[in-house]
Amino acid sequence: MATAAIGNLQELYECYRLIRSRSLRLSEPLTPEDMMVQSCPEASPAKWHLAHTAWFFESFVLREFLPGYRVFHEDFAWLFNSYYLSFTEFPEKRLRASFSRPGIDDILRYRAHVDAAVESLLQSDVPEEALRRIELGLHHEEQHQELLMTDIKHALYTNPLQPAYLEGEALLGNAPPLRFLPYPGGLVEIGRDAGEGFSFDNERPRHRAWLESFSLASRLTTCGEYAEFIADGGYSRPEFWLSAGWDTVRAQAWVAPLYWRKVDGEWKVGSLRGQRSLMEIASSPVAHVSYFEADAFARWAGKRLATEAEWETAASAVPMEGNLYESGNLESMGAPTDAETPTQLYGDCWEWTASAYLGYPGFIPLNGSLGEIDTSRYSPGWRCFKPRLTVMVWG
């Protein structure tokens, strides 16, 4: 998803209304029963996402910066907290599907109450810190829009009827031949500095890193290419797997990515539009693989995963364009062209890198409860959320 650039109060106001209404649009195809489902412990019900994103603005903006603000419901402060331990206690995440009350109508009223208060705040002499928190809250809501889609996809896929979230056909595209594009290496700068537009705290500060020369794949790995790995016994050959990954393959009986299943000898892949044949989407990027699977595929292909610094160096020279939410597709699709720069660095899929999730040199978290925001709370073994398969590099 692409957030509009926020340069003044009017732009922030318009961006607020755009992003908040988007959450409601994404929920429109869902029934009240759909919005209660929590299909695995890592997921959350759709109505919880709608409530929690309102909770963020109420808890960190309105309570502190809007004089006379009255909370919508005293119990919502702990009921819809996620993991901000320094703010208040909260229920176990795995129990969120047991909250039949408040119902969706009450949650929609909660959102409307919060929206009216935020819009009132934006029409006043609003402090700079409040503006920064509103902008952070909008990016936080976009994260939950992604989670809403991944959670409902898993919920509908695990339903024995496998209903579709969307009707109609997605744009698929055709993947051009895979090429490896060279980069010279040397001393590079990565990360962001405060004042360069919005960034999460874990994307700061800008700092120097040394890179050896490398080559990066011109596009994402496709479903068809990943199927070759499966056909070559990729899930039964321990030489391709990290030890923890191989243990997970055996313990969980993995034979293919999440949402892949064989029906009458043919691979079918689950999507927001229902089941698709592998042949139909062979040119689309493979998704919903764990770090272990991405790493094993790279080894099988004779390559490796890019490091974070390599990926960021390549991405920084490419316009922020791609198959994003605004396309209306809500599915990954084949790379558009055979370009001289790598494609699909934005949109389509999250991408795994070989780097550990660590703070940059000089990293300073946000103050107070907001410092508990963590934009990468995903274990390498999980396959429900934010899957990344990176383009591959050679040294």
The two beta strands, 214-217 and 392-394, are antiparallel
Q: How many Å apart are CA 375 and CA 230, to the nearest integer?
A: 31
Spell out the per-residue pLDDT of the chain, length 395, in tens: 444 445 688 899 999 999 999 999 999 999 999 999 999 989 999 999 999 999 999 999 999 999 999 999 998 988 888 866 556 677 787 788 888 899 999 999 999 999 999 999 999 899 999 999 999 999 999 999 999 999 999 999 999 999 999 988 877 888 999 999 999 999 999 998 877 778 888 888 999 999 999 999 999 999 999 999 999 999 999 999 999 999 999 999 999 999 999 999 999 999 999 999 999 999 999 999 999 999 999 999 999 999 999 999 999 989 988 999 988 888 899 998 767 788 999 999 999 999 998 889 988 877 765 765 544 433 333 333 223 233 444 43
Residue type, 278: L
137 burial class (0-12, 13-18, 19+ CB within 10 angstroms)? buried
10 burial class (0-12, 13-18, 19+ CB within 10 angstroms)? exposed
Q: How many Å apart are CA 384 and CA 289, to the nearest integer?
A: 9
Q: Residue 29, Cβ neighbours under 10 Å: how many?
A: 15
The CATH classification number of 9-158 equals 1.20.120
- CA distances for 172 relative to 80, 108, 175, 377, angstroms: 37, 35, 9, 30
**In the chain, where do the E strands start and end?**
180-183, 186-190, 207-211, 214-217, 260-263, 266-271, 274-277, 304-305, 392-394
Identify how many contiguous H helices and E strands the chain contains and give both numbers.
10, 9
Q: How many Å apart are CA 137 and CA 345, to the nearest integer?
A: 24
Domain boundaries, given as residue ranges, for the chain: 9-158, 180-394
Q: How many Å apart are CA 235 and CA 255, to the nearest integer?
A: 6
